Structure 1
């Protein structure tokens, strides 16, 4: 069957349970999902039409090498994890790393940015017995059916990387060939989080791509560490991202946080802004800065974010979302004229919602939907297993 053959939206998301070193876990991910990874590498338009041609130029290779060097210095364990995935899947490492650089390469080389609506929507509600983080995972259409879960227990004898990590235990929804941590995830310390990309106008070579900051979050034990990871002092972020998170084991009232992270331009630390939703409050975040005054690429990703924000605010007229069903209804909403929250306008739509996840912080469950959550039951409800 040709990898590009249209098979429609599948109600299937495979999961791998694995344990070992960073390289061993990466290898088992690559070996297990080699078919999906090879298929995705073949059909990825950004990789084949933009990143690889630029990588073949001397200027592009210099941007690649400086960024890889920065990651190797601060997060060598995640480079080994990616090397394991490449070896297990029998694919070239540089193709996987280019995917993790995302738009850094064309942006730094001042090539025309991709005008896509690629991005996600996250809703956190914080009400009595209704403490919920819900997230639509929106991606380029080729990502559809190229996702899987990784539930990993990583142990090393020697502390790894700049934060001296020896053990990680987490579950994460992953794009094929990509490190865990970039969509929606939780770890055994009780950190629950989701990710919204933001397209800053100016990106930086030789800094930490957002994929590696979100991967590092999977080791965070508390909110202080999470902020430390995102600030990345000594290097800083290469691009922009928004993180929505809470810690299930924190003392006192439930708190949800939205962290906006901007590239470290002419500095060695990411710009960081945090908003906290206390009891009786909520957060809705898409793919644009709501607080940081940082220039953005603009185009459809901002127009789409504005449209989804307007849909949410319309829903809130006279009634704040305060229960699980409200979250399902909002994340499944398709009432927007040009851009909807749940995204599937047709077979040829170039951005689709590939999965929806809803974390119930009271019941400690993670409901996963492979289709519209407003109209369908979850494909699975996973328990959130925490460290004792």
Structure 2
């Protein structure tokens, strides 16, 4: 069977299967190129289909890439990345080779809105794409929760990458991260073996910078940090600075003393500056914070698209809940669908252009990461990952409804 009848029209089965309760995962060890290649080879079908249907690439970035102005932005940003992170370019090249897709298409996807912003002064995506994160730091309840929200085409086009990167002359990296098909790991949610637990929120600065560091590469580098000092240094990206905006919600499970959660807002490097704008908020024991897709502290001019009202609606919905004190409070908030326009768990119906594709709950006491593929208020997690730290390579898989998987 190659097609099915849906809503009075023929659609390929692959495009009409709806939300799947399935989470693919790859465990890979090797050099940056080897890990990228194995990701590409393993998920070639998902990556090819995603590249084919990813509208920001095909409708905006690729046509601009064919212009002199667009090619200039592409080349000078590629040069910036090559100077700092040639190993991550090798990862992308490996993924491109393994999946048999052109490198330039994958790199353009990593540039996100940089090309249209730097060439036309406007964003290419007009949808309210954005995530919501919330932290609860209470006695016995140290929780980071996150909705991973994306264009509807991303539904069922993501996987988990559990990687052990070993390459001569470079730092060893061990991490597990949710990754969109064809993208570097890092710009979503995950953890590393040093105890970093994190989630990312996109922030839409109005003016993006050509020839500076795309956020996907900064957050990919974040997967290798050992402590909060290194994390701040990575986010500042001294000598270059971020091309775009984003925020990171994080803690380190191996830190000494009281549990501290941090939200770091990152702004694009200002003209004539050499590092990202950075503002950090810390939640001590007994405190909470939440973050969506709007700057709350840095004074950065923002895009006037729907991501701002979407963030305001979601923040208002979160504020209507009592302060989160338990894991269940976090679940109730992340599953909230009370707003009639922009919901915390985003999905109005099968044709909604923006969807929550996954929900993650990090329990920093139990050291687990529960991942849901549907609303956590009414569904169990599809998988519970045991956060393995340092050099513990044990893989523990349970036959329970929530199998436990570690690095």
Alignment coverage as a number of residue pairs: 379
1:156 is matched with 167
Determine the C-alpha separation between the residues in 2 that align with 1:352 and 1:338: 13
Determine the C-alpha separation between the residues in 1 that align with 2:21 and 2:228: 35
Instruction: Assess if the C-alpha contact under 8 Å between 1:4 and 1:43 holds in 2.
Output: no
1:82 is matched with 92
For the pair 1:367 / 2:370, whether they are aligned, the reply is yes
Matches within 5 A, 1:98-247: 98-113=108-123, 114-159=125-170, 166-247=171-252
2:264 is matched with 259
For the pair 1:346 / 2:356, whether they are aligned, the reply is no
For the pair 1:280 / 2:286, whether they are aligned, the reply is yes
For the pair 1:308 / 2:314, whether they are aligned, the reply is yes
Q: Secondary structure at the match of 2:320?
A: helix
For residue 45 of structure 1, report the CA deviation from its aligned partner.
0.7
Which runs of 5 or more residues in structure 2 are unaligned? 3-11, 392-407
Instruction: Assess if the C-alpha contact under 8 Å between 1:60 and 1:105 holds in 2.
Output: yes
Determine the C-alpha separation between the residues in 1 that align with 2:143 and 2:108: 34
1:250 is matched with 255
For residue 112 of structure 1, report the CA deviation from its aligned partner.
3.5
Instruction: Assess if the C-alpha contact under 8 Å between 1:194 and 1:245 holds in 2.
Output: yes
Determine the C-alpha separation between the residues in 2 that align with 1:278 and 1:111: 40
Q: Secondary structure at the match of 1:157?
A: coil
Deviations 1:140-160 (A, max 9, x none): 00000000000000011113x
Determine the C-alpha separation between the residues in 2 that align with 1:97 and 1:299: 24
Which runs of 5 or more residues in structure 1 are unaligned? 160-165
For residue 299 of structure 1, report the CA deviation from its aligned partner.
2.5
For the pair 1:358 / 2:364, whether they are aligned, the reply is no
Residue of structure 1 aligned with 2:337, choices 334, 352, 365: 334
Instruction: Assess if the C-alpha contact under 8 Å between 1:3 and 1:39 holds in 2.
Output: no
1:44 is matched with 54
Determine the C-alpha separation between the residues in 2 that align with 1:219 and 1:3: 39
In the superposition, the TM-score normalised over structure 2's length comes to 0.92
For the pair 1:321 / 2:324, whether they are aligned, the reply is yes
Determine the C-alpha separation between the residues in 2 that align with 1:158 and 1:214: 21
Determine the C-alpha separation between the residues in 2 that align with 1:382 and 1:270: 33
Over aligned residue pairs, what C-alpha RMSD do you find?
0.9
Deviations 1:194-247 (A, max 9, x none): 000011000000000000010000000000000000000000000000100000
Instruction: Assess if the C-alpha contact under 8 Å between 1:121 and 1:341 holds in 2.
Output: yes
Instruction: Assess if the C-alpha contact under 8 Å between 2:37 and 2:98 holds in 1.
Output: yes
Determine the C-alpha separation between the residues in 2 that align with 1:118 and 1:6: 22
Deviations 1:127-177 (A, max 9, x none): 001000000000000000000000000011113xxxxxx200000000000
For the pair 1:271 / 2:274, whether they are aligned, the reply is no
Determine the C-alpha separation between the residues in 1 that align with 2:370 and 2:55: 31
For residue 268 of structure 1, report the CA deviation from its aligned partner.
1.2
Determine the C-alpha separation between the residues in 1 that align with 2:255 and 2:183: 30
For the pair 1:55 / 2:61, whether they are aligned, the reply is no
Moved over 3 A (4+): 1-4
Q: Secondary structure at the match of 1:132?
A: strand
